[in-house]
Amino acid sequence: MGLDWNNTKDSENELKDSETGFSYNKNEVYTVRIEDVGTGGEGIAKIDGYTLFVKDAVRGDLCEAKITKAHPKFAYTKLMNVIEPSPYRVEPACPVSRRCGGCKVMAASYEEQLRFKQNKVKNNIEKIGKVTDYEMNPIIGMDVPYHYRNKAQFPIGLDREGNLVSGFYAGRTHVIIPNEKCYLGVPENEEILGIIKAFMTEKQIQPYDEVTFKGLIRYVMIRKAFRTGEIMVCIVINGNKIPDCDELVERLQKVNGMTSISVSINLCNTNVIMGKLIEHVYGKKYITDYIEDLKFNISPKSFFQVNPLQTEKLYGKALEFAGLTGNETVWDLYCGIGSISLFLARSAKKVFGVEIISDAIRDARNNAKMNGIENVEFFVGKAEEILPQYYEKHGGYADVIVVDPPRKGCDTALLDTIVKMGPEKMVYVSCDSATLARDIKYMSENGYRLEKVQPVDMFPHTDAVEAVCLLRKQKQDDIIFNVI
């Protein structure tokens, strides 16, 4: 069956199925039962085999959905009404969760969220990765899945009535949904935003307007080190300075734990939050946090895992999968401030880290020194360029290669070099199971076997899921056996 896109005579909005003659009306409301969950956390329902994606619906809901955009094989719909709530449906803790769109699955119980994430990883690995024979461990969830984020970036703007607001952009838009009391963030966020907004009102400082490019204050980035309690605030501005900045600093200093205040100058009309220049206006240039007993200094622009509790579990699994005995040479690609590198260095002979952001590598080197770790070496640059160059020049040997790329996964040039270097193990830490699965497919076509997968819930209530995988180089005999 399929929809006949030429047969739209009856009305502009009507689509007719060429086989059954069943018509689907674009703006009509359909009553459907949600059967499954899509990769973005949306509900999935079927009408006569035709797929409806119902955003905000929970598996098991009987609901009314209105078609907003139709394609030949599926349609996007808006959830209009829940007629019979699913047993997995809960009242979301956050009253603006649906409008905000950050917590896409908050209306599902935490158990149901974990089930969805486990399945998402499994489906991607099996459908995209084309692997079925591997060990899938049960997802590691959180005991208390709230207030886990150590970092938040709040856009500042004006609402329709001209009031100063801060919050989050509604999904795929630049409309700010006022929300300072985010259930994923720390309570200090609200206090800090309150101080900054009161100051702006008093001094008549305008927020940045993305249409006119006028106004000063763009974003407020807040980071808290969970173990030490240290807080960092970085205010991103469209200008060179904040008027009466000393006064603002004096007020912010009073927040318990305030350790570092900086201003980031971003004069570009872009979606990138941070500007190139960071001016420190109070305290240290970084805050200090721990992962297990390792100490890390974190600068405003450096990447640091946002959920410190789950990070320990994630890194613990990466270490377990690496199976180090103290004699190994390890590469940690996409190493950020070297957190995984240092974590592994204690059990390895030598760790090489590669990261594209030079500030992060500066932090990584300092972090190594601060923790008295000497068997690490860091390189700045693209992993897909540094590793091949190193391999060409020095031959480059590795027992274990760890990768922890951003969402887009690894570049083929990098995977090719890994295959050439032939480490016994590759540990893949991923925040996007679709690109992970794509890369697993590539590695399995090139002599590696996926052994184990461990999903970890680093971002409860969102549709994102992290996973650590162990890939092992197959012995020549295994490959011949598998081909036969």
| Positions marked catalytic | 431
Tally of CB atoms within 10 A around 462? 18
- Minimum distance of ligand SAH from residue 331's CB (angstroms): 12
Nearer to ligand SAH, 215 or 388 (CB): 388
* Interacting residues with ligand SAH between 332 and 361 (CB under 6 A): 334-336, 339-340, 354-357, 360
* Interacting residues with ligand SAH between 44 and 83 (CB under 6 A): none
Determine the interface stretch with ligand SAH among 50-58, 87-95, 234-242, 381-389 (rule: CB under 6 A): 381-389
Q: By Cβ distance, which residue is nearest to ligand SAH?
A: 336
Nearer to ligand SAH, 289 or 384 (CB): 384
Contact pattern for ligand SAH over residues 406 through 435, marking x by CB under 6 A: x-----------------------------
* Interacting residues with ligand SAH between 315 and 334 (CB under 6 A): 334
Written in H, E and C, the secondary structure of the chain is: CCEECCCCCCCCCEEEECCCCCEEECCCEEEEECCEECCCCCEEEEECCEEEEECCCCCCCEEEEEEEEECCCEEEEEEEEEEECCCCECCCCCCCHHHHCCCCCCCECHHHHHHHHHHHHHHHHHHCCCCCCCEECCCECCCCCCCCCCEEEEEEEECCCCCEEEEEECCCCCCEEECCCCCCCCCHHHHHHHHHHHHHHHHCCCECCCCCCCCCEEEEEEEECCCCCCEEEEEEECCCCCCCHHHHHHHHHCCCCEEEEEEEECCCCCCCCCCCEEEEEEECCCEEEEECCEEEEECCCCCCCCCHHHHHHHHHHHHHHHCCCCCCEEEEECCCCCHHHHHHHCCCCEEEEEECCHHHHHHHHHHHHHCCCCCEEEEECCHHHHHHHHHHHHCCCCCEEEECCCCCCCCHHHHHHHHHHCCCEEEEEECCHHHHHHHHHHHHCCCEEEEEEEEECCCCCCCCCEEEEEEEECCHHHHHHHHC
- Minimum distance of ligand SAH from residue 344's CB (angstroms): 11
Nearer to ligand SAH, 191 or 359 (CB): 359
The verdict on 378 binding ligand SAH (CB under 6 A) reads: no
The verdict on 88 binding ligand SAH (CB under 6 A) reads: no
Nearer to ligand SAH, 81 or 358 (CB): 358
Phi, psi at 398, each rounded to 5°? -145, 140
Determine the interface stretch with ligand SAH among 224-232, 235-243, 362-370, 380-388 (rule: CB under 6 A): 380-388
The verdict on 379 binding ligand SAH (CB under 6 A) reads: no
The verdict on 382 binding ligand SAH (CB under 6 A) reads: yes
Tokens 């599902």 locate to 108
Among 303, 321, 331, 448, indicate the residue that binds ligand SAH (CB under 6 A): 303
Query: Quick check: 206 and 216 in contact, CB under 8 A?
Result: yes
- Minimum distance of ligand SAH from residue 184's CB (angstroms): 18
Nearer to ligand SAH, 216 or 291 (CB): 291
- Minimum distance of ligand SAH from residue 235's CB (angstroms): 22
The verdict on 380 binding ligand SAH (CB under 6 A) reads: no
Determine the interface stretch with ligand SAH among 123-131, 203-211, 323-331, 376-384 (rule: CB under 6 A): 376-384
The verdict on 466 binding ligand SAH (CB under 6 A) reads: no
Closest CA to 142 of 469, 406, 468, 462: 462
Nearer to ligand SAH, 152 or 217 (CB): 152
Among 305, 310, 367, 462, indicate the residue that binds ligand SAH (CB under 6 A): 305
Nearer to ligand SAH, 382 or 452 (CB): 382
Query: What number of chain residues touch ligand SAH (CB under 6 A)?
Result: 17
The verdict on 404 binding ligand SAH (CB under 6 A) reads: yes
- Minimum distance of ligand SAH from residue 313's CB (angstroms): 13
- Minimum distance of ligand SAH from residue 458's CB (angstroms): 10
Q: b/e for 100-125, b at 16 or more Cβ within 10 A?
A: bbbbbbbbbebebbbbbbbbbbbebb
The verdict on 297 binding ligand SAH (CB under 6 A) reads: no
Q: What is the binding site for ligand SAH (CB under 6 A)? A: 303, 305, 334-336, 339-340, 354-357, 360, 382-384, 404, 406
